[in-house]
Amino acid sequence: MEAKRRLKRKELRFKVVIVGTYGVGKTSILLQHFDRYFTRDPKTTVGVDFRQRKFHVNNASVILEVWDTAGEEKYANIVQIYYRGAHAVIAVYDIMKRTSYVRALEYIAEITGQAVPPLVIALVGNKRDLCQDGRREVATETAATFAAARNLVFMETSAKSTDNVDELFESVSERLVDECEKRKTDTHLRQKLRLNSSPTTATTPTPPGHRVRCCHTS
């Protein structure tokens, strides 16, 4: 029985891009999640770095292809190339630097302004472990309110203490599956409505501007 369940499990592949200014801890979050490793001085990402991991969500095997992008402005054009076509984008900021939060919101605005925006966007405040000494510049409520109004995933993480690092990628995986299934269902319903309203037409193609970009199934 267990073998049959494994055979029936579908595999979904999603492209996830992490963006944020230099020094907010994007690479540290990835190192902690994928390698269980933390250093205060990780090697600076040049251009992009790539990792992948499989998660199990409901009856699906989800493979996240995670792209870590450079935060330095000189790589801005390269970063834009990589987050095009992403299914999810994680915008990271340093809770002790309001300027990094403002830039994270700018990234989100750029991303949502694309012709085909990603299924999921996460807003992540990193370095939670350092907020105890009063150096916080971005209130949790401020970021949480912004995220809730736009249906974003929101978390505060600590790459050092591991707080919410695994939960971040699990939440993104779960939201991706939910959004993908929802869009597939919506597309199916629209197709049925078109067929029912045009009984003399055998098939009704989906207009190019209304195509649903979802997951890759393998």
The reply to whether 127 falls in a domain is yes
The reply to whether 189 falls in a domain is no
The reply to whether 201 falls in a domain is no
- CA diameter of the chain: 71
**Residue 4: which pLDDT band, with cuts at 50, 70 and 90?**
very low
The mean pLDDT of 183-202, rounded to a whole number, is 57
Which segment of 9-13, 130-134, 206-210 scores lowest on mean pLDDT? 206-210
Measured distance CA(58)–CA(5) in Å, rounded:
11
Full domain range(s) for residue 136:
2-178
Alpha helices in the chain (DSSP H): 2-8, 26-30, 76-83, 98-112, 140-149, 165-197
CA-based nearest residue to 66, from 102, 110, 29: 29
The reply to whether 58 falls in a domain is yes
Is the pLDDT at 205 greater than 50, yes or no?
A: no
Is the pLDDT at 202 greater than 60, yes or no?
A: no
* 23 vs 92, more confident: 92
- The tens digit of pLDDT for each residue in 16-58 reads 999 999 889 998 999 888 887 777 665 555 456 778 888 888 8
Task: Report the number of distinct structural domains present in the chain.
Answer: 1
The reply to whether 184 falls in a domain is no
Is the pLDDT at 204 greater than 50, yes or no?
A: no
- The tens digit of pLDDT for each residue in 144-188 reads 999 999 999 999 999 999 999 999 999 999 999 999 888 776 565
The reply to whether 199 falls in a domain is no
- The tens digit of pLDDT for each residue in 182-192 reads 877 656 556 55
CATH code of 92's domain: 3.40.50.300
The reply to whether 95 falls in a domain is yes
Please state, for a pLDDT cut of 70, what percent of the chain lies above it.
Answer: 69
Per-residue buried b or exposed e for 72-99, using 16+ beta carbons within 10 Å of the residue's own CB: eeebeeebeebbeebbbbbbbbbbbbee
The mean pLDDT of 131-138, rounded to a whole number, is 82
